[in-house]
Structure 1
Amino acid sequence: MRKTWWKECVVYQIYPRSFCDSNGDGIGDLNGITEKLDYLKELGVDVVWLSPVYRSPMDDNGYDISDYRSIQPEFGTMEDFDRMLAEMHRRGIRLVMDLVVNHTSDEHPWFVESRSSKENPYRDYYIWREPKENQEPNNWESVFGGPAWEFDAGTGMYYLHLFSRKQPDLNWENARVRREVYDMMDWWCQKGIDGFRMDVISMISKDQAFPDGAVKENGYGDFSPFVRNGPRVHEFLREMNREVLAKYDLLTVGECSGVTVEEAKKYANEDGTELDMVFQFEHMDLDGGETFKWNDRKIDLVELKEVLSRWQRELDSKAWNSLYWCNHDQPRILPRLGSLDPAYREISAKMLATCLHMMQGTPYIYQGEELGMTGGDFASLADFRDIESINAWHQYADTGKISPEDMMRYLQYKSRDNARTPMQWDDTPNGGFTEGTPWIRVNPNYKEINARDQLARKDSVFHYYQQLIRLRKTHEIVVYGEYELLFPEDPDLFVYTRTLGEEKLLVLCNFKEKEKCIALPEGWRPEQMTRLIGNYPEPGSGNENPPRPENGDAAELHLKPYEARVYRM
């Protein structure tokens, strides 16, 4: 297996609007990030992934870009960006930028030109189609609800927008579009950035026949078979790799909605001809997160183990996994898989971190995850800012398809805004995020959950994440060891081993609020086992309970509620 720095690193995602506000306007900014770099250095992360800070009308919080080579004023200036990048590098932290090239803003100069006339040189930069029997060119539904086509009265044609109508899709069939994208990427690389997270990159290639999709319950068609992992996507990414990526020492990760294990082996192949790794969503879809997220179902642990273990097993030595529970598009993980009970909140946060960080792959920490931050505390629709959530309310609650009471409960549980509430730095007003009025409601539990408190406590979630990151840097087996799932049908325990040569790790995680007893796996002998980390202390010694011998060489392990342990043999 090829060894590289990006397999050995830990990435920290910053959602800039919500991280730290330096000027009191209620919106996080670049100078706020620079102020907090020592915090990230203390945590021990190697890479920051920065969600978009490019100029944007902010229809989709920066994922609608109107100028790829300038900074949105509310985040600061290009000089602020250059200073932030220099300060990151001075601390040994690399920067990965968000690359959004499936679509632009409708205010991007390319689209302004494109819609001005059918003869404009930029017309073919986007996807335009004639009406079909006085209707949309096909029945596709946009990700944010409603038709994926918008009629433009000026030229009498429709343009495709798989997301908001203010996010027209670029036409990747046009070689000039691809050249523009590669030139822009090269410009950022020459500024000294260290990689790209590529937004919905699996959707850049469309079936040029644009056929109708299978009709869904709401009457719209599903575009997935014709867009996700489209016909030329690997050709385009290999071209991107040759033209830009291969010229620099970068970390590249593609957000690949709808990706399968087999497709991932192409995107993130060991030959390095496309990307380094992908974000897959299969484990996040187990409660309907991607297919129909508006529910309050819980993730089944047996199903979760099957999905994550299949990705571990199938990509081993063929491609590379990205490991995550949370990001700006996913609600925080504690309500989904952990506990909000004050007695177990920090314990379960540490358990979830252990389970993820001990797998093979590059771990991603979403801002506040290292504090055990919880979801938002929203009282009404007026508290939400996310276009997806607001559109969903109008589509389902306003039409009576879901009762307002149920829909509000689903939004409180699943909205992307749950992950976008401001970072909780201390117990001062607004959690120390801003001296002004925050752009989105701060979770009132900032008085109990905040960085200042956790930095002061050695038993905090923050310091536990420090330990996990340190283990990855000191034990090669954590990065490169082979993975094997044990007890796949156990509904409460997630147990697996890692193996590298003669060295082994045993990872045990109890996902339930009850004690569990389990036999020590075959071949594991208590006298040969050393504890590497655990989220419960051993009475009187500061370590957790060692295996207890019973019946000669056999041993049982007794796990407390939400307990996690890692042994080395």
Structure 2
Amino acid sequence: MVDLRGIRHPLRPAGHGRLPAPPAVDRVRADGRRRQGLILGWRRRATVAVATVALLAVVGCGSTVSPTPGSSVTAPATSATASGAGPAPTCGPIPPVAPPSGLDQAGWWRDRTFYEVFVRSFADGDGDGIGDLKGLIGKLDYFNDNNVASQTDLGITALWLMPTFPSPSYHGYDVTDYRAVNPDYGSLDDLRELVKEAHRRGIAVILDLPLNHTSDEHPWFVGSKTGTGPYADWYRWSDAPQGNGWQPDGSRFYYAAFGADLPDLNLRNPDVTAEVTADAEFWLGTAGVDGFRLDAAKYLVEDGPTTENTPETHAWWRTFRSAVDAQVPRTLLLGEVWDLPKVSASYVPADLDLTFDFALDTGYVGAAQSGDAATLMRLMTNVTKLYPATSGFGAFLSNHDMNRVATQLDSDPGQLGVAADLLLTGPGVPFVYYGEEIGLTGAKPDERIRTPMRWDASSPAAGFSSGAPWESMSDDPPSLNVADESASNSSLLSRYRNLIHLRQLHPALSSGTWAPVASDSSSVVAALRVAPTETALVLTNVSTEPVSPTLSLESSPLCGRPAVFGAYGQTVTIGPELTAAGGFHDYRPVATLQPQSTVVILLGP
């Protein structure tokens, strides 16, 4: 247990000018001294439980930081002597402490942890077996209870809702009305209430917005099929198929890349663009949502046989973005670009704010499964170079289109835990798929990776509903549920809670840059996370064997002579001795790094 009193100590790297600094505010006490830290927005955490992550706080250069009452702290240790070390760079003054990112600020998403919700499967508020918005409102405290003394919430600060629009399907990606709420889920007033209550807890809300296609039952498409009238060219029609994806309709064909029931909109038509842009603006204004997850973002505008990532698609997103930003400049536009990292990164930041990186998902799960970190280290090094330095991509382990991560890892506790470590101490903006935090399993078909959430061991639906669920429950044992895992400090849910709270408390983890650190162990993922006011060294052992890693780094923004002043949950170690470039050689921060575990070390001048 680490008692930090909700305070982040302003431990800054040297060379502050080398890094882009966020807007800062000088916080000075009445006696003229700068505050020792900044309370994180609405969340004044009294304590942060660290059951699976050993947190080592490191300061130096004469800094004086008082330990909190009851914590176990030893006297400062000297820095390690490294071959070829020194003289280290001189430390400059500590910069002003940046304010927390509020939802009224551009870039508010950079330090958030998101949670993907399938409303139909999350919580049923009226007992009809279908999840709904009122049920979701009733579970908001599970994400973030806004209670300064509580440690029972997950620490989530943003929600992504899978489609909530009227639709003939269970999944909702075939929309029939872009300005209404699916009656299975509730009403527009219910959605407004959800957003209001989420915002009261400091939780952002974004909607899933499928703009590439509609349902074949949408009035626009029904009108377009006639070949006349205002909607005649709102979809792509031809007298003969032009390649793959063309569907027959009488004597004509229409383009529908994802199946006959999902006809593609003709986004070359300025009337279509104007209408769907107005639909997005409706939700920003009427419901107050904070942004959109944009489905199938690379497919919007075809160019002959080229159906993905065309210049016209990039240009369309820039036009859409300009219009949305003109109404609500802080709006998040998050794109699903399921492609190679260099392709998904090409949409950021000019077209979209974030895109999901699908390669990193594979890398995290693969490293957890194999126990080998070398491939993941190369991947992370390449991926982080492609995107903007801070939070240019969404990171995740699985989503609604994939077999669940627990199924991919055969529900192995160690592998699931280390995968969570990698995600929640790693770069990018993390997204947790509902149920992932309790180890919910599921393999395709799609309905089986979107089964109802398990809240307790009760019948008939594990606390999801008082009635029969719309889809049968997952094939997991009854003990796999939120209530039982909340009662265990060693559960996967507790590990997620600890990691998310730790990430939210430390800007180096939540929004810092990422740089690889060389290790002599092929099972260790080692990286330096750097924020303007804080630097963290993160070590994760993905293998099932203990290791004693020795680390090297050619250069970094570090300065002075870092020295360990306290260790939580781990034997006290020594800090590195820096070279003139701020690097270090032959640094051994811990005698033993336990199997499938992570150590986070805060470094300062």
TM-score band by shorter chain is 0.7 to 0.9
How much has 1:488 moved relative to structure 2?
Answer: 7.9
The whole-number CA distance in structure 2 between the counterparts of 1:521 and 1:494 is 13
2:253 is equivalent to residue 253 of structure 1: no
Q: Is the 8 A contact 1:531 1:567 kept in 2?
A: no
The whole-number CA distance in structure 2 between the counterparts of 1:319 and 1:425 is 32
1:288–1:481: structure 2 CA closer, same or farther, 3 Å change rule?
closer
Partner of residue 425 from structure 2, selected from 351, 355, 358? 358
Q: Which residue of 1 aligns with 2:72?
A: none
How much has 1:453 moved relative to structure 2?
Answer: 1.9
Q: Which residue of 1 aligns with 2:232?
A: 123
2:544 is equivalent to residue 513 of structure 1: yes
Q: Which residue of 1 aligns with 2:483?
A: 452
1:546-561 → structure 2 map (5 Å cutoff): 546-547=572-573, 557-561=591-595
Partner of residue 10 from structure 1, selected from 113, 116, 120? 113
1:25–1:268: structure 2 CA closer, same or farther, 3 Å change rule?
same
Letter in 1 for 2:569: N
1:358–1:100: structure 2 CA closer, same or farther, 3 Å change rule?
same
2:205 is equivalent to residue 95 of structure 1: yes
Q: Which residue of 2 aligns with 1:404?
A: none
User: Residue 484 of structure 2 aligns to a residue in which SS?
Assistant: helix
Q: Which residue of 2 aligns with 1:30?
A: 133
2:454 is equivalent to residue 424 of structure 1: yes
Partner of residue 295 from structure 2, selected from 194, 199, 211? 199
Q: Is the 8 A contact 2:237 2:253 kept in 1?
A: yes
Q: Which residue of 2 aligns with 1:330?
A: 402
1:8–1:25: structure 2 CA closer, same or farther, 3 Å change rule?
same
User: Residue 380 of structure 2 aligns to a residue in which SS?
Assistant: helix
How much has 1:58 moved relative to structure 2?
Answer: 0.5
Cα-to-partner distance string for 1:492-526 (whole Å, 9 max, x where unaligned): 33222223468532222222333334224469999
1:75-86 → structure 2 map (5 Å cutoff): 75-86=185-196
2:172 is equivalent to residue 62 of structure 1: yes
Cα-to-partner distance string for 1:347-395 (whole Å, 9 max, x where unaligned): 4433222212222321112112222x2322xxxxxxxxxxxxxxxxxxx
2:569 is equivalent to residue 543 of structure 1: yes
Normalising by structure 2, report the TM-score: 0.71
Q: Which residue of 2 aligns with 1:276?
A: 353
Moved more, 232-241 or 107-116: 232-241
Cα-to-partner distance string for 1:428-464 (whole Å, 9 max, x where unaligned): 1222112222222212435222111233334433333
2:414 is equivalent to residue 370 of structure 1: no
The whole-number CA distance in structure 1 between the counterparts of 2:395 and 2:331 is 18
Q: Is the 8 A contact 1:202 1:229 kept in 2?
A: yes
Letter in 2 for 1:198: L
1:554–1:510: structure 2 CA closer, same or farther, 3 Å change rule?
closer
Partner of residue 236 from structure 1, selected from 303, 316, 331? 316
Tell which has more relative contact order, 1 or 2 (C-alpha 8 A, sep 6+).
Answer: 2
How much has 1:99 moved relative to structure 2?
Answer: 0.6
Letter in 2 for 1:334: A
Q: Which runs of 5+ in 2 are unaligned?
A: 1-19, 23-106, 145-152, 576-585
Cα-to-partner distance string for 1:88-145 (whole Å, 9 max, x where unaligned): 22222221011100000000000000012x23331211111222xxxx321x2xxxxx
User: Residue 253 of structure 1 aligns to a residue in which SS?
Assistant: strand
Cα-to-partner distance string for 1:506-549 (whole Å, 9 max, x where unaligned): 222222333334224469999834788xxxxxxxxx71455599
Partner of residue 563 from structure 2, selected from 522, 528, 552? 528
1:329-348 → structure 2 map (5 Å cutoff): 329-336=401-408, 338=409, 340-341=411-412, 345=413, 347-348=414-415
How much has 1:310 moved relative to structure 2?
Answer: 1.5
Aligned residues: 474
Letter in 2 for 1:137: Q
Q: Which residue of 2 aligns with 1:476?
A: 507
The whole-number CA distance in structure 1 between the counterparts of 2:488 and 2:509 is 26
How much has 1:27 moved relative to structure 2?
Answer: 1.6
Moved more, 555-564 or 174-183: 555-564
2:525 is equivalent to residue 494 of structure 1: yes
How much has 1:314 moved relative to structure 2?
Answer: 2.7
Q: Which residue of 2 aligns with 1:216?
A: none
1:230–1:467: structure 2 CA closer, same or farther, 3 Å change rule?
same
Cα-to-partner distance string for 1:278-314 (whole Å, 9 max, x where unaligned): 113223467999xxxxxxx989754333333312133
Q: Which has the higher helix share?
A: 1
The whole-number CA distance in structure 2 between the counterparts of 1:526 and 1:417 is 55
User: Residue 238 of structure 1 aligns to a residue in which SS?
Assistant: helix
Partner of residue 284 from structure 2, selected from 161, 173, 189? 189
Q: Which residue of 2 aligns with 1:264?
A: 345
User: Residue 513 of structure 1 aligns to a residue in which SS?
Assistant: coil
The whole-number CA distance in structure 1 between the counterparts of 2:335 and 2:277 is 16
1:555–1:173: structure 2 CA closer, same or farther, 3 Å change rule?
closer
User: Residue 439 of structure 1 aligns to a residue in which SS?
Assistant: coil
Q: Is the 8 A contact 2:167 2:175 kept in 1?
A: yes
Q: Which residue of 1 aligns with 2:248?
A: 151
How much has 1:335 moved relative to structure 2?
Answer: 3.8
Q: CA RMSD in A?
A: 3.2
The whole-number CA distance in structure 1 between the counterparts of 2:512 and 2:495 is 22
The whole-number CA distance in structure 1 between the counterparts of 2:371 and 2:595 is 18
Q: Which residue of 1 aligns with 2:600?
A: 566
Partner of residue 468 from structure 2, selected from 431, 437, 441? 437
1:522–1:302: structure 2 CA closer, same or farther, 3 Å change rule?
closer
1:417–1:514: structure 2 CA closer, same or farther, 3 Å change rule?
farther
Q: Which residue of 1 aligns with 2:100?
A: none
1:352–1:288: structure 2 CA closer, same or farther, 3 Å change rule?
closer
The whole-number CA distance in structure 1 between the counterparts of 2:260 and 2:372 is 35
Cα-to-partner distance string for 1:3-37 (whole Å, 9 max, x where unaligned): 43211111111111110112222221111101101
The whole-number CA distance in structure 1 between the counterparts of 2:533 and 2:190 is 49
Moved more, 105-114 or 36-45: 36-45
Letter in 2 for 1:426: D
The whole-number CA distance in structure 2 between the counterparts of 1:328 and 1:531 is 42
1:416–1:558: structure 2 CA closer, same or farther, 3 Å change rule?
farther
Q: Is the 8 A contact 2:354 2:393 kept in 1?
A: yes
Partner of residue 242 from structure 2, selected from 120, 123, 137? 137
Cα-to-partner distance string for 1:253-301 (whole Å, 9 max, x where unaligned): 1111225436524x222xxx53211113223467999xxxxxxx98975
User: Residue 497 of structure 2 aligns to a residue in which SS?
Assistant: helix
1:288–1:333: structure 2 CA closer, same or farther, 3 Å change rule?
closer
How much has 1:318 moved relative to structure 2?
Answer: 7.9
Normalising by structure 1, report the TM-score: 0.76
User: Residue 559 of structure 1 aligns to a residue in which SS?
Assistant: coil
1:432–1:242: structure 2 CA closer, same or farther, 3 Å change rule?
same
Q: Which runs of 5+ in 1 are unaligned?
A: 141-147, 212-225, 290-296, 377-411, 533-541
The whole-number CA distance in structure 2 between the counterparts of 1:557 and 1:431 is 44
1:361–1:54: structure 2 CA closer, same or farther, 3 Å change rule?
same
